[in-house]
Amino acid sequence: MSDYSVTGIVEKVLPVEQVKEWEKGGIVIKTEDEYNNLYPLVAFGKTMEKIANIKEGQQVTAYFNVKANEYQGKYYTNLDVWKVDVLNNASSAPKKEAAFQADGDSDDLPF
Protein backbone atom coordinates (compact mmCIF):
# COMPACT_ATOMS: atom_id res chain seq x y z
CA MET A 1 0.00 0.00 0.00
CA SER A 2 1.33 3.44 -0.87
CA ASP A 3 1.29 6.38 1.49
CA TYR A 4 0.32 9.78 0.14
CA SER A 5 0.72 13.31 1.46
CA VAL A 6 -0.78 16.71 0.77
CA THR A 7 0.28 20.18 1.92
CA GLY A 8 -2.16 23.05 2.16
CA ILE A 9 -4.41 25.17 4.35
CA VAL A 10 -7.06 23.57 6.58
CA GLU A 11 -10.26 24.91 5.09
CA LYS A 12 -12.63 23.10 7.42
CA VAL A 13 -12.55 20.89 10.50
CA LEU A 14 -15.37 18.37 10.16
CA PRO A 15 -17.61 17.68 13.17
CA VAL A 16 -17.03 14.51 15.20
CA GLU A 17 -19.63 11.79 14.56
CA GLN A 18 -20.33 8.66 16.57
CA VAL A 19 -20.28 5.59 14.27
CA LYS A 20 -21.21 2.55 16.36
CA GLU A 21 -18.44 2.32 18.95
CA TRP A 22 -16.03 4.54 16.96
CA GLU A 23 -15.63 8.28 16.62
CA LYS A 24 -15.24 9.66 13.11
CA GLY A 25 -14.05 13.12 12.14
CA GLY A 26 -11.86 14.80 9.62
CA ILE A 27 -10.40 17.87 8.01
CA VAL A 28 -10.59 19.40 4.54
CA ILE A 29 -7.30 20.65 3.14
CA LYS A 30 -7.16 23.11 0.25
CA THR A 31 -4.04 23.26 -1.90
CA GLU A 32 -2.88 25.96 -4.28
CA ASP A 33 -3.54 23.73 -7.31
CA GLU A 34 -5.92 25.19 -9.88
CA TYR A 35 -8.04 22.04 -10.17
CA ASN A 36 -8.84 19.19 -7.77
CA ASN A 37 -7.52 21.17 -4.83
CA LEU A 38 -9.76 19.93 -1.97
CA TYR A 39 -8.82 16.87 0.07
CA PRO A 40 -11.41 15.65 2.60
CA LEU A 41 -9.39 13.49 4.99
CA VAL A 42 -11.12 11.11 7.42
CA ALA A 43 -9.96 10.00 10.88
CA PHE A 44 -11.38 7.06 12.87
CA GLY A 45 -10.89 5.97 16.47
CA LYS A 46 -7.37 6.53 17.77
CA THR A 47 -6.35 8.58 14.74
CA MET A 48 -8.79 11.27 15.95
CA GLU A 49 -6.01 12.24 18.38
CA LYS A 50 -3.85 13.19 15.38
CA ILE A 51 -6.29 15.91 14.30
CA ALA A 52 -7.67 16.97 17.69
CA ASN A 53 -5.70 20.24 17.85
CA ILE A 54 -5.94 21.16 14.17
CA LYS A 55 -7.67 24.48 13.49
CA GLU A 56 -9.01 26.12 10.35
CA GLY A 57 -6.46 28.36 8.66
CA GLN A 58 -3.40 26.35 9.69
CA GLN A 59 -0.94 25.24 7.05
CA VAL A 60 -0.36 21.51 7.37
CA THR A 61 1.09 18.48 5.67
CA ALA A 62 -1.21 15.47 6.05
CA TYR A 63 -0.21 11.88 5.37
CA PHE A 64 -2.95 9.48 4.33
CA ASN A 65 -3.84 6.17 2.72
CA VAL A 66 -6.47 5.67 0.04
CA LYS A 67 -9.07 3.13 1.14
CA ALA A 68 -11.88 1.73 -1.02
CA ASN A 69 -14.77 -0.47 0.06
CA GLU A 70 -17.56 -2.21 -1.85
CA TYR A 71 -21.03 -2.29 -0.34
CA GLN A 72 -24.02 -3.72 -2.22
CA GLY A 73 -22.41 -3.19 -5.60
CA LYS A 74 -21.30 0.40 -4.93
CA TYR A 75 -17.76 1.51 -4.23
CA TYR A 76 -16.77 4.07 -1.61
CA THR A 77 -13.38 5.73 -1.28
CA ASN A 78 -11.89 7.39 1.82
CA LEU A 79 -8.66 9.28 2.35
CA ASP A 80 -7.68 7.94 5.79
CA VAL A 81 -5.33 10.34 7.55
CA TRP A 82 -2.68 8.84 9.83
CA LYS A 83 -0.39 11.80 10.54
CA VAL A 84 -0.63 15.61 10.39
CA ASP A 85 2.29 18.02 10.71
CA VAL A 86 1.42 21.65 11.43
CA LEU A 87 3.71 23.91 9.41
CA ASN A 88 2.51 27.17 10.98
CA ASN A 89 -0.16 28.31 13.38
CA ALA A 90 -1.03 31.50 11.54
CA SER A 91 -4.44 31.89 10.00
CA SER A 92 -4.58 32.23 6.23
CA ALA A 93 -7.11 35.05 6.58
CA PRO A 94 -5.79 38.33 5.19
CA LYS A 95 -4.50 40.70 7.84
CA LYS A 96 -6.08 44.12 8.11
CA GLU A 97 -3.72 46.95 7.29
CA ALA A 98 -3.44 49.90 9.59
CA ALA A 99 -5.43 52.94 8.57
CA PHE A 100 -3.46 55.74 6.93
CA GLN A 101 -2.42 58.46 9.36
CA ALA A 102 -0.79 61.66 8.23
CA ASP A 103 2.08 63.18 10.17
CA GLY A 104 1.27 66.28 12.23
CA ASP A 105 -2.15 67.72 13.01
CA SER A 106 -5.12 66.08 11.40
CA ASP A 107 -6.54 69.59 10.66
CA ASP A 108 -3.64 70.56 8.42
CA LEU A 109 -4.43 70.59 4.73
CA PRO A 110 -1.64 69.96 2.24
CA PHE A 111 -2.52 73.06 0.20
Res 42 pLDDT > 50: yes
Res 109 pLDDT > 60: no
Amino acid code (one letter) for 45: G
Distance CA 68, CA 66 (A): 7
The SS3 of residue 46 is helix
Distance CA 17, CA 63 (A): 21
Percent of the chain with pLDDT over 90: 60
pLDDT higher at 96 or 7: 7
- The maximal CA–CA distance of the chain, rounded, in angstroms, is 80
Q: What is the pTM of this model?
A: 0.73
